[in-house]
Amino acid sequence: MQALLAFVTVESNDGPTNLNIEEMLTSTIASYMMPQVIVMESIPLLVNGKIDRQSLLKSYENNNGNGSCNHEKAELDYSNIPDKKMEAARALFETVASVLGSSIRSRISIASNFYELGGNSLNSVYTVTKLQDQGYLIGVSEFISCNTLGDVLNKMRGEYYEEDPILAHGKQQDSRRYVAQMLQDSHRTQVTDMITTSFYQKADLERWLMPDIRVEDYTELVDNMWEPLLEKNLSFVVQTQRGEAVGVALNFDANDEPSVEISSKLEIVFSFLEHLECPIRENQLPQGKGQVLHGLMMATHSSMSPQQNVEVIHFMEEEVLRIARKEGFAGVFTTNTSPLTQQLGTDIYGYQTLLDYQVNNYVAPDGTKPFSEAPNWQRAVCSWRLV
pLDDT tens, N- to C-terminus, the chain (387 residues):
334 445 455 444 444 444 455 556 555 554 444 555 566 667 777 665 667 665 665 565 555 544 444 445 688 999 999 999 999 999 999 999 998 887 788 899 999 999 888 887 778 888 988 898 888 988 887 888 788 999 999 989 864 344 444 444 433 334 357 999 999 999 999 999 999 998 887 778 888 998 899 999 999 999 999 999 999 999 999 999 889 999 999 999 999 999 888 999 999 999 999 999 999 999 999 999 999 999 999 999 988 877 788 888 889 999 999 999 999 999 999 999 988 788 888 877 889 999 999 999 999 999 999 999 998 889 999 999 999
Instruction: With respect to residue 111, please indicate whether it lies within any of the assigned structural domains.
Output: yes
**Cα–Cα distance for residue pair 10/49, rounded to 1 Å:** 20
Residue 366 and residue 248 in one domain: yes
Query: What is Dmax (Cα atoms) for the chain?
Result: 71
Do both 150 and 281 map to the same domain? Answer: no
CA distance linking residue 1 with residue 306, whole number of Å: 8
Spatial neighbors of 161 by CB under 8 A, at least 6 apart, are 154, 155
Whichever domain contains 247, its CATH number is 3.40.630.30
Of 100, 121, 32, 31, the residue nearest 312 (C-alpha):
121
Q: What is the DSSP letter of 257?
A: P
Q: How far apart are CA 112 and CA 316, in angstroms?
A: 28
Can you give the pLDDT at residue 188? 97
- The answer to whether 343 touches 122, Cβ cutoff 8 Å, is yes
Assess contact for 152 and 114: CB atoms under 8 A.
Answer: yes
Residue 60 placed within a domain: yes
Residues 86 and 194 in one domain: no
Q: What DSSP character marks residue 34?
A: P
Cβ-proximal residues to 114 (8 Å cutoff; 6+ apart), any chain: 96, 124, 127, 143, 146, 149, 152
Task: Give, in degrees to the nearest 5, the angle at Cα 156 between 154 and 161.
Answer: 65
Identify the three-state secondary structure at position 158. coil
Co-location of 203 and 351 in the same domain: yes
Q: Which of 16, 37, 67 is the last residue before a domain boundary?
A: 67
Tell me, yes or no, whether 140 lies in a domain.
yes
> Cβ(200)–Cβ(215) under 8 Å?
yes
> Beta strands 352-358 and 379-386: pairing type?
antiparallel
173 found inside a domain: no
Say how many domains are in the chain: 3
Last residue of a domain, one of 168, 191, 218: 168
Assess contact for 293 and 320: CB atoms under 8 A. Answer: yes
Among residues 209, 281, 220, 275, which one has the least CA distance to residue 252? 281
Phi-psi region of 124 (alpha: psi -120 to 50; beta: other; left: phi over 0): alpha
Name beta bridge partners: 299: 248
Instruction: Look up the CATH number of the domain holding residue 119.
Output: 1.10.1200.10
Q: What is the CA radius of gyration of the chain?
A: 22
CATH number at residue 41: 3.30.300.30
**Is residue 104 assigned to a domain?**
yes
Question: What distance lies between CA 265 and its chain's CA centroid?
Answer: 24
225 shares its domain with 354 = yes
201 belongs to a structural domain: yes
Query: Residues 123, 182: one domain?
Result: no
| 197 and 297 both lie in a single domain | yes
- For residue 272, which of 318, 206, 192, 339 has the smallest C-alpha distance? 206
What is the distance between the alpha carbons of residues 103 and 277, in angstroms, rounded to a whole number?
A: 37
Q: Are residues 271 and 308 in the same domain?
A: yes
Q: For residue 195, what pLDDT is reported? A: 95
Residue 94 lies in a domain: yes
Q: Give the C-alpha separation, 69 to 74, whole Å.
A: 10
Residue 360 lies in a domain: yes
Residue that terminates a domain, selected from 15, 33, 67? 67
- 8 A C-beta contact, residue 298 and residue 314: no
Do residue 269 and residue 207 come from a single domain? yes
List the domain range (segments joined by +) for residue 61: 5-67
- As a whole number of angstroms, the distance between CA 264 and CA 298 comes to 20
Whether residues 16 and 127 fall in one domain: no
User: Which parts of the chain are beta strand (E)?
Assistant: 5-9, 36-40, 178-182, 236-240, 245-253, 292-300, 331-336, 352-358, 379-386
Q: State whether 228 and 358 are in the same domain.
A: yes
127 shares its domain with 255? no
